[in-house]
């Protein structure tokens, strides 16, 4: 079996479909690869802070632009998303499944805010509005970027309302200039109830060893659970993979923990799209003693810098062709911003299935321990069938800037 991880948290939100059509397989493969591509770019940036990003959000934003892009701009987006030139928007049709889930289910909170802001005075084409509504449901809004204060307040307030107040101040007035005509905004917030909750009274402080070898105290949750679990190894790099299901079975948190003698750098070199899919497929039901940090983490990412590294450059240049969006040729994307937030704590709507006495007996019998007292990977997966359509990815490098809850 194969292996991977890094000195960090890697979050992935995966959307699934109840069918397995060629298009669903295409979307699964393309978005998994996009997640890996984005990770490889972001982990190379020289930042000593947490990094969280959402390939799902990036795919939605790029898809929104793709509907109105032509020429080189269209080709770059198609290549970045690993699409095969199907009819505009067809590759993204299965994202409607995820939109439906997020709006109908009550076991979790999954707020998705996706918007395209255009300078007042430009006219958006009717066909573009129709296609966007059919495939992406991205909000299309006209603002006056010259009034920086009002524009900043309007965008930040809209995102805050769409995420139930969880994501605030997504943009500042410094983001706008005299030539700003079009910006993209994406925000994602997730919090779910565990199928089997962690008991708050079992949470206590433990040592957490960071990548630089220093040790800090953090609140560590504890749980005994029978769930999917596995040991992986590749090129003498070993780690564990564990699944924590959320209530309602729509989502699971897939956690990957490197062995104590494995460095993050060793595991980072192993990450591929195929490896991620192997993690989903090769775990088996086991009894496991789990220790997991309690935290809330969020980050704003400048997608313009990131996408340029993926060779999506034309849409940010003054010569790009976005004539499918508006008739004007004086338009390009000035800014693309994303903010992602996730909470992990003890909360859960279902009590543990076993009594405390029986729980202790099981724990004493279990030989499997998953103690996340060092940097680890986690994947938030939406999985009615296990077919990946899209996902969010986040990276926590130094366990700094995390709100310990």
- pLDDT at residue 198 in the model: 93
pLDDT tens digit sequence for 349-402: 222 223 333 333 334 455 799 999 988 888 777 766 444 333 444 444 444 444
- pLDDT at residue 129 in the model: 94
- pLDDT at residue 383 in the model: 67
- pLDDT at residue 316 in the model: 95
Locate 336 and state its tokens: 């693309």
Return the SS3 of 369: strand
Closest by CA to 115, choosing from 94, 87, 143, 86, is 143
- pLDDT at residue 265 in the model: 75
- Predicted TM-score (pTM) of the model is 0.81
- pLDDT at residue 326 in the model: 93
Q: Please give the Cα distance from 125 to 318 (Å, whole number).
A: 20
Q: Please give the Cα distance from 336 to 328 (Å, whole number).
A: 20
- pLDDT at residue 254 in the model: 84
Instruction: List, in sequence order, every beta strand (DSSP E) within 75-196.
Output: 108-119, 139-143, 182-192
Locate 306 and state its tokens: 């990131």
- pLDDT at residue 3 in the model: 30
For domain 53-192+296-343, give the CATH number.
3.30.497.10
Q: Which residues of 299-319 are buried (b: 16+ CB within 10 A; e: fewer)?
A: bbbebbebbeebebebbbeee
Q: Please give the Cα distance from 140 to 64 (Å, whole number).
A: 10
- pLDDT at residue 75 in the model: 94
- pLDDT at residue 5 in the model: 27
Low-confidence ranges of the chain (pLDDT < 50): 1-24, 87, 348-364, 385-404
Per DSSP, the residues of 219-277 read EEEEEEEEEEEEEEEETTEEEEEEEEEBTTSSEEEEEEEE-TT--HHHHHTT--HHHHH
Parse the chain into domains and list their residue ranges. 53-192+296-343
Longest dimension (CA), the chain: 71
């Amino acid at each position: 079996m194969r292996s991977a991880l890094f000195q960090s948290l890697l979050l992935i939100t995966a959307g699934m479909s109840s069918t397995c059509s060629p298009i669903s397989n295409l979307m699964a493969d393309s978005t998994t690869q996009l997640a890996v591509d984005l990770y490889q770019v972001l982990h190379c940036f020289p930042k000593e802070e947490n990094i969280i990003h959402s390939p799902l959000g990036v795919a939605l934003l790029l898809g929104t632009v793709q509907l109105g892009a032509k020429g080189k701009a269209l080709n770059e987006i198609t290549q970045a998303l690993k699409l095969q030139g199907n009819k505009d928007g067809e590759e993204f049709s299965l994202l409607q499944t995820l939109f439906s889930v997020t709006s109908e289910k009550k076991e979790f909170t999954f707020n998705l805010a996706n918007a395209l802001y255009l300078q007042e005075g430009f006219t958006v084409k009717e066909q573009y509005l129709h296609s966007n509504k059919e495939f992406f449901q991205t909000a299309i809004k006209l603002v006056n970027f010259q009034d920086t204060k009002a524009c900043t307040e309007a965008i930040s307030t809209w995102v805050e309302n769409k995420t139930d107040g969880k994501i605030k101040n997504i943009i500042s007035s410094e983001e706008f200039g005299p030539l700003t005509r079009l910006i993209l905004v994406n925000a994602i917030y997730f919090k779910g109830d565990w199928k089997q909750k962690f008991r708050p009274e079992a949470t206590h402080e433990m040592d957490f060893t960071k990548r630089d070898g220093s040790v800090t105290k953090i609140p560590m949750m504890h749980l005994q659970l029978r769930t999917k679990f596995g040991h992986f190894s590749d090129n003498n790099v070993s780690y564990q993979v564990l699944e924590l299901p959320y209530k309602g079975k729509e989502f699971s948190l897939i956690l990957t923990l490197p062995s104590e003698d494995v460095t993050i750098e060793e595991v980072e070199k192993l990450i591929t799209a195929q490896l991620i899919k192997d993690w989903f497929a090769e775990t088996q039901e086991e009894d496991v003693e789990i220790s997991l940090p309690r935290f809330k983490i969020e980050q704003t990412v400048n997608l313009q810098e990131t996408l340029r590294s993926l060779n999506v450059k034309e849409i940010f240049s003054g010569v790009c062709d976005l004539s499918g969006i508006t008739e004007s040729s004086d338009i390009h994307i000035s800014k693309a911003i994303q903010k992602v937030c996730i909470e992990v704590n003890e909360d859960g709507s279902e009590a543990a299935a076993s009594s405390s006495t029986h729980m202790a007996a099981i724990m004493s019998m279990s030989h499997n321990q998953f103690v996340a007292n060092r940097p680890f990977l986690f994947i938030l997966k939406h999985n009615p069938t296990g077919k990946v359509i899209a996902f969010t990815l986040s990276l926590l490098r130094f366990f700094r800037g995390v709100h310990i809850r």
